């Protein structure tokens, strides 16, 4: 029996383990003192995906897609919640309580569709439009962007940025990507709209 088979069998007998997110903040309120280590993005490289990631993907394909999507939504929401708390805390530390009170969790309050998740500010009062992408994997774990998110990134280049949170369930770390995004990542179409002729 391979390690992949053993892990798959263990997950079948322990399905609740997949839904847990250790280390993530509870969803019952924002934590003002949340800290996130924000460092530089990974360098451009032709580095291959680690074999471990391929094995994890192999195991993941054997499980409920709807359940995985629900867990991904919960993970994304937890990441956004942490960034809202971080933004408010950073503005308060900078002496801008007035701006901290104006930080908006747009995707939670208005729903998805704005092209960003959080509307915040710099300490000088300039607008910051933050799209949060959260994963439990390493810094190079692929993530998804919508067409609308890409469009808003291009239209509002000076205010918009993507905050990529990785290793969330263990020790969250993050980096920022600013437009144009294709200068940092390879964009691959993964879905198509099918229209009748």
Give residue-wise pLDDT tens across range 130-161: 999 999 999 999 999 999 999 999 999 999 99
Q: Is 154 helix (H, G, I), strand (E, B) or coil?
A: helix
**68 CB-near residues (< 8 Å, 6+ apart):** 60
pLDDT cut 90: percent of the chain above it: 58
**pLDDT per residue as tens digits for the range 90-114:** 999 999 999 999 999 999 999 999 9
Q: Where is pLDDT greater, at 56 or 184? A: 184
Cβ distance 55 to 141 under 8 Å? no
**Looking at domain 64-182, which of 3.40.1350, 3.30.1490, 1.10.3470, 3.30.390 is its CATH number?**
3.40.1350
pLDDT of residue 100: 97
């Amino acid at each position: 029996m391979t390690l992949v088979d053993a892990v798959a069998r263990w997950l079948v007998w322990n399905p609740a383990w997949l839904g847990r997110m250790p280390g993530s903040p509870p969803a019952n309120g924002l934590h003002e003192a949340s800290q996130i280590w924000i460092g530089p993005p990974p360098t451009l490289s032709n580095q291959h995906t680690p074999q471990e990631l391929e094995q994890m993907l192999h195991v993941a394909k054997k499980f409920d897609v709807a359940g995985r999507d629900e867990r991904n939504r919960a993970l994304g929401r937890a990441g956004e919640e942490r960034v809202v708390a971080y933004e408010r805390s950073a503005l308060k530390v900078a002496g801008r309580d007035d701006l901290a009170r104006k930080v908006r969790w747009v995707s939670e309050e208005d729903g998805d569709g704005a092209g960003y998740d959080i509307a915040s500010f710099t300490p000088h009062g300039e607008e910051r439009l933050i799209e949060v992408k959260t994963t439990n994997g390493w810094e190079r774990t692929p993530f998804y962007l919508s067409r609308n998110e890409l469009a808003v990134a291009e239209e509002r280049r000076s205010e918009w940025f993507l905050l990529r949170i990785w290793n969330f369930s263990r020790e969250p770390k993050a980096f920022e990507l600013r437009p144009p995004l294709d200068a940092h990542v390879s964009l691959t179409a993964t879905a198509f709209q099918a229209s009748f002729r």
